[in-house]
Amino acid sequence: METLAQSISTISPTATPVVTIPLACALAGNGTWLAYLLATTAILLVALCISRYARYSASPGSLYTYVTMTLPDPLSAVAAWSLLLAYVATGSSVIGGFYHYANLVLHDASGHVTSAAGLAILVAAISVVIACCDVKISARLMLWIEAVSVSLIVLLIALVLLRHGAHLDLTQLHLVGMTGSGLRLGLVLALFSFVGFESATTLGSEARNPLKTIPRAVIQSAVLCGAFFIICSYTEVLGFRVIGQNLGENQAPMRVLARVAGAPILGLLIDVGAVISLFACTLSCITAAARVLLLMSHNGLAHGGLRKTHSRFETPGRAIIVTGIATVAPAAILGARGASGVDVYGWLGSLATYGFIVTYALVSFALPRYLKDHGVDGSVPRLLPAAACIAMLLALIGNLYPIPEGPYGKLPYIYIAYLAIGMLWFFISSRRQAQNSPQ
């Protein structure tokens, strides 16, 4: 259970019904449930691939570690830069969600709100201090808070479904008004909901019977969260249709659904749980990004000074500070310019998803070679890694062409430009190392 809890708590399932599903609905409309069904299928394929790695290796590390053990240096560099952006952008995204819901709770308590940029800097600063000092927040406490929040959401969803009756919502099932472009963009946000499902692999030998429990945790987290997200997306769209409102335009969907269900207190409790969950996710993202940056520094992909650790706490202090600044800057700047926390969450979350999609594709692509190197070639159907890799590539290509409209249409190209700069640094560094190496 503790191994499964590692992946579940990192996914932060509370945030999806509260923030992500309304954003996906604004794009996919009545096809929101379908976007989550497709995302669950694609993530399950990747989970099956990652579980194969975990069956034969209990070494702790991120997906970057798997790729560097198998693929050529240029592809490893692509995975490294993609994963770094993915964690940093995810952290920026959840900071946007944090200051949005923190202000909702503050308004309820005092009637006032505070600066979005100020809240962004505050939550990032606290996260950096905790990460640098290695002061571990009780994982069990965070898990219980997450469990309570999810339980409240499940109760709310059940009440809404009971009020609607036993009949199905044919408007959703027939995908009325859904467009292909909207489904593609909604799928990106749906994939973002699963970020962190693979984090049980970081436990390594610390887990009990790791070669069995870690693969199970990776697969089970994808299945359980996928089922939860599909049911929530269907019910939220249904609940808002019943009262004649648009889920995609609402800033506090749980409060509206709580009134529909006749239990308004549930909305406030879920919002408080969301604030805590988003803070924990910010800390997790900064810590994970710093770890990736530290590995990149050791492998020559980043400045050597980032390898320096704190003299007392032995944490990668410089890497944590750099990733902390990179994480808070976009959210704070956008917040100061008047962007809503929900928009920041959607934009940066979609950007992060591109990094994860590429990394997941490379991990799936590397699986056959990894198994061959470990003497277990043929232990997995060749169609599995191929299907997972193709699913990720289709998700990426589908959002590059045709070009989407609005801010979401710019995100794939921001990712490509970022990756080009990272790879340019890689080739320059590789050339310098080759020139300086003894003949």
Eight-class DSSP state of 47: H
Q: What is the pLDDT of residue 165?
A: 79
For 163-208, write each residue's pLDDT tens digit.
887 788 999 999 999 988 889 889 988 999 998 788 777 655 556 7
Residue 357: partners with Cβ closer than 8 Å, 6 or more residues away: 191, 392, 395, 396
Q: What are phi and psi of 53, to 5 degrees?
A: -60, -45
Spatial contact of 95 and 123, defined as CB atoms under 8 Å apart: yes
Spatial contact of 79 and 359, defined as CB atoms under 8 Å apart: yes
Residue 38 above 60 pLDDT?
Answer: yes
Query: What does the angle CA 5 – CA 8 – CA 14 come to, to the nearest 5 degrees?
Result: 125
Confidence of residue 364 (pLDDT cuts 50, 70, 90): very high
Q: What is the pLDDT of residue 213?
A: 85
Q: What are phi and psi of 265, to 5 degrees?
A: -65, -30
Q: 3-class SS at 140?
A: helix
Residue 294 above 90 pLDDT?
Answer: no
pTM attached to this predicted model? 0.87
Q: What is the pLDDT of residue 204?
A: 57
